[in-house]
A = this chain, B = another copy of it.
Amino acid sequence: MANVTLKKIAETLGISTATASKALKDYADISNETKRKVRELAQQLNYKPNSFAQSLRNQESKIIGLIAPQIVHHFFANIIKGVIDAAEAKGYLVIILQSGESYETEKKQLQLLLEKNVDGILISLSDRTVNYKHVADIIKEGIPVVLYDKISKLLDCSKVIIDDRKAAYNATKYLIETGCKNIAHIRGPLKPQTTIDRFLGYKKALSDHGLDFKDQLVFETKNLSFEDGYEIADRILATSDPIDGVFAFTDLLATGALIRFNEKGLKIPEDISIIGFSNWFLTKITTPSLSTVNQPGYEMGQKAFQLLLKEIRNKRENKESTKEIVEIPTTIIPRNSTKPRLITEKTNN
């Protein structure tokens, strides 16, 4: 990459790459004016020559970097496993970093990975990332980058996603088909795309089935934690609407609510139905077991690595890479926290 950028600097300024390189290294035979111009442009292009990394840059390190918002997380752990398995099969090792949902950490970690001369980067954006320049700069430099799960539509790179809107639509539709009429939604923070999309899917399913959308039936959470779900269950029970169904943004939120409904003596699903999202392991062991949307993490991880590998190979052969957006299909997993469907048969899983 370094060389592509150096070439670009040279072309832009109408000098040779040798002169550009010498200018950056402060050679005496280059004029101060040229040095200044080269340095300024290098800065604009985010070109950071590093003697150690630079000497290696034409060699592949056969190491890729992966940034996840969280690691102690059933879904992301599955993605990581998918990536590691696929990478190892092709002779690549994976450096794992956790941004902890912090934009600043994410930014710093991208630089750390570049300094280690990784061949490519897989990243799922933190929920607090709303400015994407740190990722766009790297893509512009030509480093293979693939976004997975938490993406931004503003970034021009390959992506592996699920159709959150469709999945949320289907989950809400499922509650409606099992007889729910007043469906609450426990949503995530306002900004991340996944939260927006799941909210919109929920809203559309209501209107497509002749149910009113009510603002007061949407509950926002900050941390997407078990505790958040537990606490919101109390708020759901305190509304004047007779809520008979809950679509939660994640299984963890759904589980928190389910436990609290149990404590309050509600019958699930007779009094209130709940559907989660992700199909974490914990959905099988709650009482009753939790209906959910299966989000295949392992498969997403494998696909993300495949896309990255394709870009790494294209780069090696100086070929352009077409950016691909791969959508992994989701399915509804009916369990015992929802009633049987009114029309079609319930399949158990």
Which single residue of chain B is at the shortest CB-CB distance from A289?
B259
A88 at the binding interface (Cβ < 8 Å): yes
Bitwise interface map of A from 284 to 305 toward B, beta carbon under 8 Å scored 1, else 0: 1111000000000000000000
Number of copies: 2
Assess the B72–A74 pair: CB atoms within 8 A.
yes
Assess the B226–A284 pair: CB atoms within 8 A.
yes
Stretch at the interface among A11-19, A90-98, A209-217: A90-98
| Candidates B52, B78, B112, B226; contact of A72 at CB < 8 Å | B78
Q: Chain B residues near A168 (CB, 8 Å)?
A: none
Q: Show 26 A/B contacts (Cβ-Cβ < 8 Å), sorted by A.
A: A62-B116, A63-B63, A63-B116, A65-B93, A71-B84, A72-B74, A72-B77, A72-B78, A72-B81, A77-B77, A80-B96, A84-B96, A88-B112, A93-B97, A93-B112, A93-B113, A93-B116, A94-B95, A226-B281, A226-B285, A281-B282, A282-B282, A282-B285, A285-B285, A286-B286, A287-B287
B-contacting residues of A (Cβ < 8 Å)? 52, 59, 61-63, 65, 71-74, 77-78, 80-81, 84-85, 88, 93-98, 109, 112-113, 116, 226, 255, 259, 262, 281-282, 284-287
